[in-house]
Every structure is written in C-alpha cells, then in structure tokens.
Chains A and B, each alone.
Chain A
C-alpha cells in the first residue's frame, strides 16, 4: 500500500472528519430514536401473531 494512501486513510479514519460526524450522528441519533419509537409501535401491530409458529413454518427448498 502506498504511503500517501495510508496517510489519507488515517486522516479520514481518525482525523477531524470523525469529530464532525460524531456531532452529526448525535443529532441524527435523537431523530432516529423518536422515529424508531413510532416504528416499533407499528411493528407491534403488524408482527405475525404467533411468532414461533410463523418462524417454524417458514421452510423453503434450496434453490439456484
């Protein structure tokens, strides 16, 4: 691997960009968490009623 590429990678992995993205991700995480709550409510409504039976009955033949 060329040295210049290694430097470039290090910069993108550990440099300033990470600080930026962690600030971004904290705002995004709050947004996500409220979206997720609503989503989980919906999932509770639509999830197959008998999960065990559903999972056990889902049997496919191999393909390809």
Chain B
C-alpha cells in the first residue's frame, strides 16, 4: 500500500539588480532576503528578534524522533554573506548559487502545497517591496519566477515526493519518466526560442516548456550539468530506512494555479501507482531525452512519440492513458494516502484540461501558463505586425514572470484560482497543520529567542546556561497540530516544552 505522500517544492527565482554597475546576484539575493527578515511582523524575525538560521549539521540516521540527543558543540557558522533562514511558516528562505530560493514546508496534499508555494511567491513580493524601500534612489531589485534567461542559463523549480524505500528504483525510472515527458502539455510555462545546443534560437519560435532544452540524460545525480530527467539525489531528510525522496528537477515553475496544482497532484498519484505496482510496462518511451524536446516543441500536440516495442502514441494520448489508469487506481485503492479529497479536485482538473487540449487548447487561456503566454505573444505580434524574432516578444515572455504586482503581465490576466488570497496570506505566516512543519513553525513563532538553528529533520533549542537540546524529527508525519498543538499551547517556556515531550514519549 502506498505511503502517505509528503510533498514539497524548492523554487529558485531569477533576480535582477538595476541601477548599479557590475551587479552581483549573490549580494542582491542576500539583500532581498535580509530586507524581508528585517521588516516582517513574524515574531521570530522581527527587527530586534534573533535570526534563526539553517542547521547544516549532518543527521545521524539512527536517531529516533522520540529521543533527545544533547549536543556538545555549536553548529558550524553559516557563511557570512549566504543568508539561510527558517521562517515561521516552516519554509526555508536562502541564497542558492546566485539566486534567492524558497523551499516550502512539508505538505500532506497537493492543494496544501499549492497554497504554500503561492505563499512563497507572496514572500518574494514582500521581500522586493522591503528591499526597494531601503535601496538608494535609482536602484531596484526585481525577481522573476521563471527557469531560464533565454541565453542558455537555467535555474530550477524542484518538486519533492517522499516515497517508500522498498520500491525498486528501476520501476520509478520507467513510469515517472513517461509521466515527466508527457505532462509537459499542461505543466509547461512556455518559452520564446530555443536554448538547445546545436539549434538556432529562432528555429523554435515558441515551445511549451522553459526546461526541456536543458536535459541530456535519462538518469543521474547532476542538477547543473548534463541534467537528467530522473535525478538520483538520495537525501530523504527523514528516516532513510523507510523513505526515499524523489527529487524532481525536470519541471517548470508555474504561475497558473491549475497548472501548478496538476503538476504536483498528477505526479503524486503516479508515485502512488508506482508504489502499488499498478502501471503496466507498455508505456515505456524509447528515447526519453529526445521525446522531452519533441513534446516541448509540438504545439499541435499530435506528433507521435516512439515507444519501446515499436508502437507510437502522442503525449496527449499517453496522458489520457495515465489519467484513466489513475481513475481505476483511486477506485480500487482510495485516495487517502495520495492526498485525501484534494485528489478528487486533481482528477476533475486533469480530465477538464486533457479534454480541452484534445478539442481546443485556446480554452485554457488563464488555466495553463504556456497557452496563456502563447496567446498573449501571438495576439501582440498580430496587433503590432511583429516578426517572431522581435525583442518585444522575448520581453513579453520575461515580463510574464515579473513578480512586481505593478509590472507583472501574469497578474493582469484573469486566471482560474484554486486558493484564496486570504488562504495564501495565512500561509505566509503559519505552517501547515498536518506535518512536522507545524512543530518547526510554531516553535519559531512562540520561542524565537530559544530556537538556535533548525532544519528539515531537527531543531536545536537553546535552553539557557549554555545548554542546547536537539530535537530530532525524523518522521514527517509527527509533530503535527494534532500531535503537539495542545502541548505547545499549554507550555509557557521552551524548558517546559522539552520536559513535557520527555514525559509523553
């Protein structure tokens, strides 16, 4: 039986610092994040409150969540200019390479993840506002939620799915690959031009995805060079005997909520079907790297992909196949472990989107990013009589992803919403209830001065008199609101909390 799915995303954003000579993306990213930390009303990160950093200490896999491990030394110092913070909503906000990056808290279903992913974008908007208020006149930091600069440089939006350690990796590779190649028809964020090596930029005036040009391998550990469709990074941030984390690097960052929800929700169901061995072997793509690019370039959605064994099928028909298989799976196994009732919504949107892609993709304006962006670019080119290589069209592509509310093209488009503004605002400050992120976030809200450092699977508390206590959290399904909510409410001090946890375990 499939495990309860834990979902998360990590988004690297594009960043521009205008008005300075030789701008440096690392310092701009640090400035952006520090500006947010200094002005937020979060108790844990207010102007005078201590900053809570990220803990880089390696975990000992044997440590049980139910035990405490006193530690004798301080964690390593964080590099001075590389900001790395934990927020009260349970997420991690940091500088990665030359980008600001936000990792969502652990979520138990795709709807919840959509909400905290949107909260991440909102935190970026607030950060830009805070940064630009204190920058000298004439300077501005601008952040983009996209995955490419149009010049061959790419940065990722990674998805994480916690799956059972017992599943043979080969089975994951085969079935996940077919889904990743074909789901591009609804997950693509759209892109003007090609960045593939050996192809001229305007040989492909428009394609479905930002990322397909950058993948060269089927399976591998790399994320920056020779990127693989299936990434083998094995770092579960949880009990490694029980869990494997599938780190998915092949997707685009989405702005359209339906596209984002479907990217996460359909993949969660596919993972469950892999765990329960519910997929047959007939859907194996012969050359996935070639097919990934082919699908990304096929606006007609009609060009067949070669499957192993000599058959062919379009990405759309393969998605119908996976959809129908998912329908049967849910009827047979239920949806509790995949993400509860939000999965019903995933199935409804999935069918609606595949039907529209089958009959008339234009209907998905405001629903899918690539359809929306393409429509704007085509209409704008028509109106002004522009050729495909006009810089204005490339500018439209970039500005679609601009997160400044007054400049974002996406923000002007009436798009289909799944989560409300109020839900997103609450998720900016608060963690989800259903995972260990609750414990992390609530401790930060209530005892910011006592949380020394935190990471995914532990928190180090400073309980005074140079005493530090590490609380391991190797099980993502513990530390929930139901599990520790009353306890946190009833404790006044962190010492009380730690003593009470000792008593209850």
Q: Which residues of A does B touch, CB under 8 Å?
A: 1, 5, 8-9, 12-13, 17-18, 21-22, 24-25, 28-29, 32, 35-36, 39-40, 42-43, 46-48, 51-52, 54-55, 57-64
Q: Contacts A18-B359, A40-B379, A42-B412: A63 and B96 contacting too (C-beta < 8 A)?
A: yes
> Which of the residues A9, A18, A36, A55 comes within 8 Å of B150, measured between beta carbons?
A55
Given A35-B414, A58-B398, also A43-B380 (CB < 8 A): yes
Residue among A24, A32, A62, A64 with the highest chain B CB neighbour number at 10 A = A64
Supposing A9-B320, A62-B97 touch, asked if A39 and B412 sit within 8 A by C-beta, the answer is yes
Most chain B CB within 10 A, of A1, A24, A62, is at A62
**B392-427: contact bitstring with A at CB < 8 Å (1 yes, 0 no)?**
101110110000001101001110000000000000
Partner of B155 from the list A5, A21, A62 (CB cut-off 8 Å) is A62
- Report yes or no: A64 in contact with B249, Cβ–Cβ below 8 A: yes
- Chain B CB within 10 Å, residue with most, of A9, A39, A52, A55: A55
CB-CB nearest in chain B for A57: B16
Q: Give the docked Cα–Cα distance between A55 and B397 (Å).
A: 10
Q: List 15 A-B contacts (CB under 8 A).
A: A8-B324, A12-B355, A13-B358, A25-B360, A39-B376, A39-B412, A40-B380, A46-B412, A51-B390, A58-B149, A60-B14, A60-B25, A63-B96, A63-B99, A63-B156
Main SS at interface, chain A: helix
- Chain B residues in 8 Å Cβ range of A21: 355-356, 359-360, 363
In the complex the two chains form, is B395's CB within 8 Å of A48's CB? Answer: yes
- Give the complex CA separation of A12 and B409 in angstroms: 34
Q: Does B43 contact A (CB under 8 A)?
A: no
Contacts of A61 in B (CB 8 A): 25, 97-99, 153, 155
- B residues near A, CB below 8 A? 12, 14-16, 25, 96-99, 101, 148-151, 153-156, 158, 223-224, 227, 249, 282, 317, 320-321, 324, 355-356, 358-360, 362-363, 365, 375-376, 379-380, 383, 390-392, 394-396, 398-399, 406-407, 409, 412-414
With A and B bound together, what is the CA distance between A9 and B379 in angstroms? Answer: 32
Other-chain residue from B358, B360, B395 in contact with A12 (beta carbon distance below 8 A): B358
- Chain A residues near B398 (CB-CB < 8 A): 54-55, 58
Do residues A5 and B16 form an inter-chain contact, with CB atoms below 8 A? no
CB proximity of B365 to chain A, nearest CB, Å: 6
Q: How many A-B residue pairs have CB under 8 A?
A: 128
Cα A54 to Cα B223 with chains together (Å): 28
By a CB distance below 8 angstroms, the chain A residues around B317 are 9
Contact A55 B154 (CB under 8 A): no
CB distance B155 to A64 under 8 Å?
yes
Query: Chain B residues with Cβ under 8 A from A63's Cβ?
Result: 12, 96-99, 101, 154-156, 224
Residues on the B chain within 8 Å of A17, using CB: 355, 359
* Across-interface contacts of B396 in A (CB, < 8 A): 43, 47
A62 to B222 Cα, complex, angstroms: 13
A46 and B407 contacting across the interface, CB-CB below 8 Å: yes
> Inside 8 A of A39's CB, which chain B residues have their CB?
376, 412-413
Q: Knowing that A39-B412, A63-B154, A64-B156 are A-B contacts, what are 12 other residue pairs whose CB atoms are under 8 Å apart, sorted by A's residue number? A: A13-B359, A18-B359, A21-B360, A25-B360, A29-B362, A51-B391, A52-B391, A58-B16, A58-B150, A60-B25, A62-B97, A63-B96
Task: Say how far B246's CB is from chain A's closest CB, in angstroms.
Answer: 16
Task: Let me know if B321 and A5 touch, CB within 8 A.
Answer: yes
A60 and B355 form a contact (CB under 8 A): no
**A47 vs B396: C-alpha distance when bound (angstroms):** 7
Residue in chain A with minimal CB distance to B98: A61
